[in-house]
Amino acid sequence: MCFSKEEKIVEEILANLVTRNRSFYTQGRVATYIPELALASPDILGISLATVEGERSSGGDGKYLFSIQSISKIISLALALEEVGEEIVFDTVGMDPTPDPFNSIMRLEMHQVNRPYNPVVNAGAIAVVSLIPRENGRERGNAVLDLARRLMGNPELEINQKIFESEKETGHRNRSLAYYMKSTGTLKGDVEDVLEGYFRQCSIEASVEDLGVLGATLATGGINPVTGVRVLASRTCRIIRALMVTCGMYDGSGEFALRVGIPAKSGVGGGIVAVVPGRMGIGVCGPSLDSKGNSLCGMKLLEDLSRELKLRVL
Amino acid sequence: MCFSKEEKIVEEILANLVTRNRSFYTQGRVATYIPELALASPDILGISLATVEGERSSGGDGKYLFSIQSISKIISLALALEEVGEEIVFDTVGMDPTPDPFNSIMRLEMHQVNRPYNPVVNAGAIAVVSLIPRENGRERGNAVLDLARRLMGNPELEINQKIFESEKETGHRNRSLAYYMKSTGTLKGDVEDVLEGYFRQCSIEASVEDLGVLGATLATGGINPVTGVRVLASRTCRIIRALMVTCGMYDGSGEFALRVGIPAKSGVGGGIVAVVPGRMGIGVCGPSLDSKGNSLCGMKLLEDLSRELKLRVL
Amino acid sequence: MCFSKEEKIVEEILANLVTRNRSFYTQGRVATYIPELALASPDILGISLATVEGERSSGGDGKYLFSIQSISKIISLALALEEVGEEIVFDTVGMDPTPDPFNSIMRLEMHQVNRPYNPVVNAGAIAVVSLIPRENGRERGNAVLDLARRLMGNPELEINQKIFESEKETGHRNRSLAYYMKSTGTLKGDVEDVLEGYFRQCSIEASVEDLGVLGATLATGGINPVTGVRVLASRTCRIIRALMVTCGMYDGSGEFALRVGIPAKSGVGGGIVAVVPGRMGIGVCGPSLDSKGNSLCGMKLLEDLSRELKLRVL
Amino acid sequence: MCFSKEEKIVEEILANLVTRNRSFYTQGRVATYIPELALASPDILGISLATVEGERSSGGDGKYLFSIQSISKIISLALALEEVGEEIVFDTVGMDPTPDPFNSIMRLEMHQVNRPYNPVVNAGAIAVVSLIPRENGRERGNAVLDLARRLMGNPELEINQKIFESEKETGHRNRSLAYYMKSTGTLKGDVEDVLEGYFRQCSIEASVEDLGVLGATLATGGINPVTGVRVLASRTCRIIRALMVTCGMYDGSGEFALRVGIPAKSGVGGGIVAVVPGRMGIGVCGPSLDSKGNSLCGMKLLEDLSRELKLRVL
């Protein structure tokens, strides 16, 4: 199950996979909706594996820091599940996948019971972060950062202030979603304050090595294999892994399940965290995105890796 | 992995699970959209397991025959994938889950490229059966029946003529979907002829024991563990298992993934086939359905079974 | 009010308006969804006025014959209103305008009570023709033809057989709409039989002179000013004129009300009938259509005419 | 045309119509979305006529003051048309009716060019008020108030501060619409500032006598018949009257055109202004609303009045 002794072989495999897949970046585009994201080099590509025994291997741009964006949605969801419980969370948001773009207002409105479809569409994630019992949005953002540090075993993770300010300044679509939910009673509290927490969590910066450990912690059922500390209940991890499979890759989730066959969650910063339950976590990052908002090279790399290491669970 | 020596224990577990979950039938309703389905007793409940070694155990109403309905969609999809190939199939239908009811016309129209969302919404399944290279709809329906027999290891499976006639007589929603696809060029050929094949496949009758073997064949990667015959390529099985996870339970797929955590496909006859890759297939049937069209007792039973035998793959 | 003595002046005005507006045809396109329509010359343009005193003047291609297409919807609606009454008609279809293309399935499904929005979207018109109490679709189509002859004072009007056959052969979108309504119970009877009547009424051939008299009959409140015969009740005419204003020009109705300001109904054969209550009817035809399905030159011509003769009622 | 000498007869007719229609209030409900509106007595009913010669007659609660709400949309539209011109206004918003509820976000998003459907849906009205060239939202609101005073010939009209504050505090649906338009670039400037102007215009208080004069000014083509001052260009009045017919009564516009047959605009405060071009304006108010947001008794009263005085223009 572990490949500790073949670490060199694994690193060689990873390096080859990075080389083989890097050139696909020309077929995609770096996210441009906020100026800070648009600065990323499109040809960056990194990967990191962390086994449930805590062994790690990396390839390509393993140390590159990027904002985790929508990957933060599973962290705030984990926090909400642990602090307010499944019942309240799933009274507020649904559990069903949606084929629509990640920030659709139309979908939000059509959902008759006025619940966002699931916790990983933008509306759902905004509703989820509002549930975290902290004094204000800033504190909620900091609580998500604190959990991210423990899940990734990296106490030095920080929020990128420039990205946070940029999100806050330009996030009118998210304001529209939040005010809509405010008008239907789904969202409590002050909208700008709720968004403060949401924009903060999206701006957490990490490397693929950090994401690999996050994935490994979800793979063990909640024990960080690097620090040895239990961070989440195993039930919380199951819920998150299931959501990753059905809705983790925006409206490309169905195709990703077919091609790669493991739970994963992407962000528009180019990162993807993937989980092989009982075996390992994987972090990848390539900022060039496909039309659905997923890292193009990252997905290709995961498809190759899944085939070569026989990672599929589906 | 196998429980051959503990077969009695397993049968006891299954009997207990049936007893524990049967009473939930009062919370649902038998499908009534065709008269033949409305005749089913709502309190029927059966389950059958088939391991990848070919061992079988059943509980409750294991011999009860029911029409497999939407479960046939994965069989015709398998046939189309093997006979015309992935490329043509997924040029015709998408791979993405949809949160909408299983026969939505609205969704069909909104999908801009005029492809049904995926092969297991009604529109997608109608498009898929039309791809099977046979002379006419009757022959396509028979080809699906033939594959069903091989997948379930039961050469005696038949189409229920009364249900077939009833589907044909009342299937105006499906006619509407098919004519819509005809008007956009997605569907070739004569609409009534295409529907003949579709209604035939929906009317195939089987027991939970048959579904268990179907599931086991998908679990092995294509070899029927009872007959020992390879029926499908392993890649076909992977595609089907992935689709089962993301869209197998209509718009209850997300919640099912959370609660049960294994690939499954349901039909409005009350049947569900579930797959634990590398381990076993499971067939259940309880005709009382929830509002999304899934067997109410069947899902509860699978949730209990998944927890007790630790079947989750997510 | 009448311009009988200035008939020559009027004919001169009409001739000038035709000359001035004919060249706009290059900005539009002839309907191509059935081969027969695609054969029309795009630069045809004709206009005809008929006063409530029965005086007529024409300009341009006044004798050109074209299929009236959606203009027939107001004729079959008039027939249904007179023969089965307002209550049954408006239990079956709504009265509200819709901004969507004239044959939207999506809109049909979203309308919660399962009524088409109004009698002039395709779904609504199909539902309306099904209400006409005749033995079968052929007879319903003939009854609409008979009423058209009386409204236009032209007993020689006929159904164009080639166009009728072509509509029938290619009308899959209308079949989809009809089967959808069949599945929800909105439509009674055999779908192909209902469509027979609908395709027949769409294929009635007329000239702009005929349409002018139709408009004049609606302008008088139901008495054909040429034949002197009362053809419709005044209340029926009021209902039809009101529907023409709010939904007569597909989703260009709002803009047409602003620019021209009189009730009108268009068809994809290029015809438009317009009504100035108490004053006159106007028929125009120019087969080159804008993106919404309305005659491009026809609308421009009506805008000029409305301004020059001060025809606005809004 | 005028009924100056029969003023007493008219007042008698109006009093009778009020008596006959008042009891319908029990079938509707007072608007409750802001507390101030919920305080209105449901059985209030008043009507006032103003001819194009400036003669006035009233019946029922003629002096009752209510907030004009959506009726203000035609006033701010008139101001924008006169100050920035048709081209800019209709580049920003469409002209087409919509069958959907008056504050639909879904519709806004589906409209592909990212323009609200028309100037009288909430999104459209917010976009229109933002176009008025004043320093800030407060000044825009005051400019609409100033035009309202001139259109109604009443320099004492004021904004109801309590209603304004209430709108501002609870208008989250409108904030959602505005931020959505901000995110698509349709709306320029600060969202809260734009909404300040919009909430102000909605909170203008008037009586049915004021609305009657507003209607009469639109009926003359822009000259206030009481003050004798030209307030609007005749083209501006034509545009507004056309929009009133196709979209003035929310998604009840089609039915209102059928039943009453004259241009009208309603507000959720219970007011309706109606226009008979070249003849008169009519103001009515009854706070009990139907499910579409229109005054129930007000519409019934106008239907009777239109029939008795033969006011239909359609």
pLDDT at A116: 82
Catalytic residue, candidates D268, D275, D276, D284: D268
Whether C250 is a known active-site residue: answer: yes
What is the spatial distance between Cα B93 and Cα B114, in angstroms, rounded to a whole number? 9
What is the spatial distance between Cα B175 and Cα C192, in angstroms, rounded to a whole number? 12
Q: Which two tokens stand for residue A220?
A: 């063990």
Percent of chain A having pLDDT more than 90?
80
Residue D224: CB partners within 8 Å, gap ≥ 6?
D150, D151, D152, D153, D213, D216, D217, D230, D231
Among B105, B182, B191, the residue with its CB nearest the CB of C105 is B105
- pLDDT class for B6, splitting at 50, 70, 90? low
pLDDT at A104: 46
Q: Spell out a b/e string for B231-241, using b for 16 or more CB atoms within 10 Å of the CB, else e.
A: bbeeebbbbbb
Averaged pLDDT, D242-246: 96
- Residue in the structure block whose two tokens are 């809109």: C107
Q: What are phi and psi of A55, to 5 degrees?
A: -85, 145
pLDDT at A162: 96
Whether C117 is a known active-site residue: answer: no
> Is it the case that residue B68 has pLDDT exceeding 60?
yes
pLDDT at C6: 66
Please give the span between the terminal C-alpha atoms of chain A, in angstroms, as a whole number.
18
pLDDT at A111: 46
Q: Which two tokens stand for residue A182?
A: 């405010």
Note whether B54 and B216 are within 8 A (CB): yes
Give chain B positions within 8 Å (CB) of C106: 105-106, 109-110
Interface contact A183, partner D, CB < 8 A: yes
pLDDT at A126: 96
pLDDT at C296: 96
Distances (CA, A) of C12 to A33, C18, C19: 59, 10, 11
The pTM assigned to this predicted structure is 0.92
Give B117 or A64, the one with higher predicted confidence: A64
Q: Which two tokens stand for residue B205?
A: 């009758």
For A252, name the nearest residue in chain B, comparing CA atoms only: B96
What is the spatial distance between Cα B137 and Cα B127, in angstroms, rounded to a whole number? 12
> Is it the case that residue D112 has pLDDT exceeding 60?
no
Alpha helices in chain A (DSSP H): 7-22, 35-38, 72-84, 86-92, 105-110, 122-131, 137-152, 161-170, 172-184, 191-202, 208-220, 234-247, 253-259, 296-308
Contact D176 A176 (CB under 8 A): yes
> Is it the case that residue B208 has pLDDT exceeding 50?
yes
Q: Output the average pLDDT for chain A.
A: 92
> Is it the case that residue A314 has pLDDT exceeding 60?
yes
- pLDDT class for B169, splitting at 50, 70, 90? very high
Contact B245 A241 (CB under 8 A): no
Residue D126: CB partners within 8 Å, gap ≥ 6?
D174, D177, D178, D181, D187, D194, D195, D198
Contacts with C, B 159-178, CB within 8 Å: 172-173, 175-178
- pLDDT class for A72, splitting at 50, 70, 90? very high
> What chains are in contact with D, requiring at least 3 Cβ pairs below 8 Å?
A, C
What is the spatial distance between Cα A176 and Cα D182, in angstroms, rounded to a whole number? 9
pLDDT at A6: 66
Find which of D98, D245, D279, D291 to mutate to test the C interface (most C CBs within 10 Å of its CB): D245
What is the spatial distance between Cα C217 and Cα C229, in angstroms, rounded to a whole number? 10
Among A108, A109, A175, the residue with its CB nearest the CB of D179 is A175
SS3 label, residue D277: coil
Question: How do the pLDDT tens digits run along chain C, 314 residues long?
Answer: 444 566 788 999 999 999 999 999 999 999 988 888 899 999 999 999 999 999 999 999 999 999 999 999 999 999 999 999 999 999 999 888 764 434 444 444 434 446 788 899 899 999 999 999 999 999 999 999 999 999 999 999 999 999 999 999 999 989 998 998 998 899 999 999 999 999 999 999 999 999 999 999 999 999 999 999 999 999 999 999 999 999 999 889 999 999 999 999 999 999 999 999 999 999 999 999 998 899 999 999 999 999 999 999 98
> Is it the case that residue D20 has pLDDT exceeding 90?
yes
> The complex's ipTM?
0.91
Q: Is A18 exposed, middle or buried (0-12, 13-18, 19+ CB in 10 A)?
A: buried
Percent of chain B having pLDDT more than 90?
80
- pLDDT class for B94, splitting at 50, 70, 90? confident
Distance from CA of D281 to the nearest CA of A (A): 36
- pLDDT tens, C270-300? 999 999 999 999 999 999 999 889 999 999 9
Least confidently predicted of B155-164, B221-230, C242-251, D89-98:
D89-98
Percent of chain D having pLDDT more than 70?
93
Could you give all domains of chain D from N- to C-terminal order, each with its CATH number?
A: 7-66+206-308 (3.40.710.10), 70-202 (3.40.710.10)
> Is it the case that residue B4 has pLDDT exceeding 60?
no
- pLDDT tens, A77-105? 999 999 999 999 999 998 877 644 444 44
What is the spatial distance between Cα A99 and Cα B138, in angstroms, rounded to a whole number? 33
Q: Which of C116, C35, C60, C31 minimizes the C-alpha distance to C300?
A: C60
What angle do helix axes A234-247 and B234-247 make, rounded to 10 degrees? 110
Task: Identify the helix (H) or strand (E) that includes residue D228.
Answer: none
Give chain A positions within 8 Å (CB) of D172: 179-180, 182-183, 191
What is the spatial distance between Cα D204 and Cα B83, in angstroms, rounded to a whole number? 70
Whether C300 is a known active-site residue: answer: no
Tally of CB atoms within 10 A around D8:
10
Q: Is D83 exposed, middle or buried (0-12, 13-18, 19+ CB in 10 A)?
A: middle
Whether D198 is a known active-site residue: answer: yes
- pLDDT class for B27, splitting at 50, 70, 90? very high
Return the number of CB contacts < 8 Å for A and B: 98
Interface contact D210, partner C, CB < 8 A: no
Averaged pLDDT, B224-237: 98
Whether B198 is a known active-site residue: answer: yes
Distance from CA of C242 to the nearest CA of D (A): 5
What is the spatial distance between Cα D303 and Cα D305, in angstroms, rounded to a whole number? 6
pLDDT at B251: 83
pLDDT at B43: 95
- pLDDT class for B36, splitting at 50, 70, 90? confident
Alpha helices in chain C (DSSP H): 7-22, 35-38, 72-84, 86-92, 105-110, 122-131, 137-152, 161-170, 172-184, 191-202, 208-220, 234-247, 253-259, 296-308
What is the spatial distance between Cα D236 and Cα D300, in angstroms, rounded to a whole number? 29
- Residue in the structure block whose two tokens are 């229609």: D21
Q: Which two tokens stand for residue D303?
A: 């239907």
- pLDDT tens, D27-74? 999 998 888 889 999 999 999 999 999 999 999 999 999 999 999 999
Give B280 or C8, the one with higher predicted confidence: B280
Give chain D positions within 8 Å (CB) of A183: 172-173, 175-176
Distances (CA, A) of B117 to A119, B95, B103, B187, C180: 22, 6, 11, 14, 19
Give chain A positions within 8 Å (CB) of D106: 105-106, 109-110
